[in-house]
Structure 1
Amino acid sequence: MNRKLGLLLTIVLALTVSACTGKKDTAATDTTTTTPVDVDTSSQTVFGTSYTADELRNRFGIEGDPLNYKVLYFEYNSSVIDERSQIIAKRHAQYLGGNGGARVTLEGHADERGTRDYNLALGERRAQAVAEFMNAEGAQSQIQTISYGEERPADPAHTEAAWQQNRRVEIKY
């Protein structure tokens, strides 16, 4: 476990350093293999995705390892997982699959629109959708779900921007 964590931290540090310096070279392409620094990895996929690090950053706003992201956002009145959130959830599923002792709670949330009961059910549907996706991607009975509905807003304002932040599933280890 400590060896894997050390490797993961080394990879994240290497990606961060290379992103900060603007170089195309990276020290790693995924969590299990390393590449020499003089190899151009701009066309190599990373973190078990079908995307390069540049594509993750430019297309999805994901800097470095998707495992560092712990919030998945949803459209209004929806429990459909978008592509960005799928990338993040898949990476967490990979982590859970490789760490049988790890446990995670998926907290489903909704914005304030709708009744309390409806929002609790929507938060549960969102958390369950992520749990099912992660189980299909390799997590094994390590997931618990809970819904808070509208009760724990990330942003208490009554604006579209706030509502977007509140329609989410939080990944809690």
Structure 2
Amino acid sequence: MNRKLGLLLTIVLALTVSACGNKKDSGAVSDTTTTAPVSEDTSNQTLFNTGLTAQELRDLGIEGDPLNYKVLYFEYNSSAIDRRSTVIAKRHAQYLGANGGARVTLEGHADERGTRDYNLALGERRAQAVAEFMNSEGAQSTIQTISYGEERPADPAHTEAAWQQNRRVEIKY
């Protein structure tokens, strides 16, 4: 259901952007004798109200609309939101601001290192950091936070790669 909603929003946004780009000034005179299409250089246009170009989004590991990403990752023993996660959280805040009745739960997680109590507190700090950021970016909705600590790993392996996947906040609509 959430994927369908995200896909629908992406399609509506794409249609809106393309429709706005095709509008002509009502006072303009159209030259219908021109047959060669005019190509625009879109490499420097910002996308999805992020202030970033497609290449800048790709450099952050984001393909397409950041609203389609629902997991934010964190460094070891940190609740600081990195640049990539900031872009994703900002797009979700914009969505929530435009849909005031929307409800979202931010699920904080930690890797298995540390005590159970410490990891629960760290997961809560991460979820709260994202909630505070989203609220500061205009999210006008009910944001609930919950921490699962190390209890629900995305990857149960005991490797650095697995731990990186487990240090996260999941955005659940």
**TM-score interval for Structure 1 and Structure 2 normalised by the shorter chain:** 0.7 to 0.9
Shift of 1:92: 0.1
CA distance in 1, matches of 2:17, 2:62: 16
Aligned sequence identity (%): 80
CA distance in 2, matches of 1:98, 1:85: 20
Q: CA RMSD in A?
A: 2.1
Instruction: Quote the residue 1:55 is aligned against.
Output: 56
Instruction: Quote the residue 1:8 is aligned against.
Output: 10
Structure 1 stretches lacking a partner, 5+ long: 15-26
Shift of 1:138: 0.6
Partner of 1:35, secondary structure, is helix
CA distance in 2, matches of 1:10, 1:53: 19
Partner of 1:139, secondary structure, is coil
Distance 1:56 1:34, change over 3 A: farther
Equivalent residue letter for 2:85: S
Partner of 2:21, secondary structure, is coil
Q: Does 1:64 align with 2:64?
A: yes
Shift of 1:83: 0.4
Matches within 5 A, 1:85-100: 85-100=85-100
CA distance in 2, matches of 1:159, 1:96: 35
TM-score normalised to the size of structure 2? 0.81
Partner of 2:46, secondary structure, is coil
CA distance in 2, matches of 1:150, 1:114: 9
Equivalent residue letter for 1:64: G
CA distance in 2, matches of 1:126, 1:6: 29
Identify which of structures 1 and 2 has the higher relative contact order when contacts are C-alpha pairs closer than 8 Å and 6+ apart.
2
Q: Does 1:35 align with 2:21?
A: yes
Shift of 1:6: 5.2
Distance 1:114 1:6, change over 3 A: closer
Equivalent residue letter for 2:10: L
Equivalent residue letter for 1:35: G
Instruction: Quote the residue 1:139 is aligned against.
Output: 139
Instruction: Quote the residue 2:35 is aligned against.
Output: none
Shift of 1:38: 4.2
Partner of 1:64, secondary structure, is coil
Q: Does 1:123 align with 2:123?
A: yes
Residue by residue, what CA displacement relative to the aligned partner does 1:134-173 show, whole Å, maximum 9, x if unpaired? 0000112421000000000000000000000000000000
Structure 2 stretches lacking a partner, 5+ long: 1-6, 23-37
Distance 1:35 1:169, change over 3 A: same
CA distance in 1, matches of 2:141, 2:97: 10
